[in-house]
Chains A and B, each alone.
Chain A
């Protein structure tokens, strides 16, 4: 079974631009969560999607948005990039959004975004 796939692996953008990151979950998984990882703040939750609906959102500005498609693939978008948005963005997929035995989150390798 293929793991969580994130594309692209690396991105370089300049301030003010926007960026779209993509995540393909494990086959059969319907929940996708996004996390931002930085040296200072560690891993922080961005948002979670299940069946094309945003179920939960972390404490990030509105410049960060996402969506999920009918095939469970997800994209996240960051508009008006700032230097502080430079980070590793991780996507995780799970069978469902609820707690319980099946809901283990499996992580992708991440997209490293550098904002210059």
Chain B
């Protein structure tokens, strides 16, 4: 079964501390992995995706096929990073829908 697991509902860190939001997935083929972010009172928006291998707002994520993980990392958290973060998977072929994890609420304290 296709599944995305985000084990932490809430992650609280202090400003300047490193952040790692965990994401594990279950999929038999080669999925596409995404991180979406939802800031307070804003719509869900794409943060980054594994195929582009880019860093957005200081965040990076590496797809580890052996561990079936796609953890999101940032070396120094900022208060403006406080938001809900969703890991999502899209299977191959003609199915374009996203399978989301339950989300992790990141709170960055001053």
Q: Which residues of A contact B (CB under 8 A)?
A: 3-4, 31, 33, 35, 42-45, 48, 50, 55-56, 58, 90, 92, 94, 96-99, 101, 103-110
Q: With A42-B103, A43-B86, A90-B44 as given contacts, are A105 and B98 in contact (CB-CB < 8 Å)?
A: yes
* Residues of chain A with a CB closer than 8 A to B100's CB: 35, 42-44
Q: With A99-B92, A104-B49 as given contacts, are A45 and B98 in contact (CB-CB < 8 Å)?
A: yes
> Of A43, A56, A104, A107, which is in contact with the most chain B CB atoms at under 10 Å from its CB?
A43
- Whether B51 contacts A97 by the Cβ 8 Å rule is no
- What's the Cα separation between A99 and B45 when bound, in Å? 18
Q: Which residues of B contact A (CB under 8 A)?
A: 32, 36, 43-46, 49, 51, 86, 90-103
- What's the Cα separation between A55 and B32 when bound, in Å? 18
Q: Which of B32, B51, B96 contacts A33 (CB 8 A)?
A: B96
Prevailing SS type, chain B contact patch: loop
Q: A35-B100, A56-B94, A98-B94 are in contact. List 14 more A-B contacts (CB 8 A).
A: A4-B43, A33-B98, A43-B103, A44-B100, A45-B98, A48-B96, A56-B95, A58-B97, A92-B98, A97-B96, A99-B90, A106-B45, A106-B46, A107-B43
- Whether B49 contacts A99 by the Cβ 8 Å rule is no
- Whether B96 contacts A98 by the Cβ 8 Å rule is yes
- Whether A45 contacts B97 by the Cβ 8 Å rule is yes
- Whether B46 contacts A55 by the Cβ 8 Å rule is no
Q: Which of A90, A97, A107, A110 contacts B94 (CB 8 A)?
A: A97
- Whether B94 contacts A55 by the Cβ 8 Å rule is yes
- What's the Cα separation between A94 and B45 when bound, in Å? 13
* Residues of chain A with a CB closer than 8 A to B43's CB: 3-4, 107-110
- Whether B95 contacts A107 by the Cβ 8 Å rule is no
Closest CB of chain B to A19's CB: distance in Å? 21
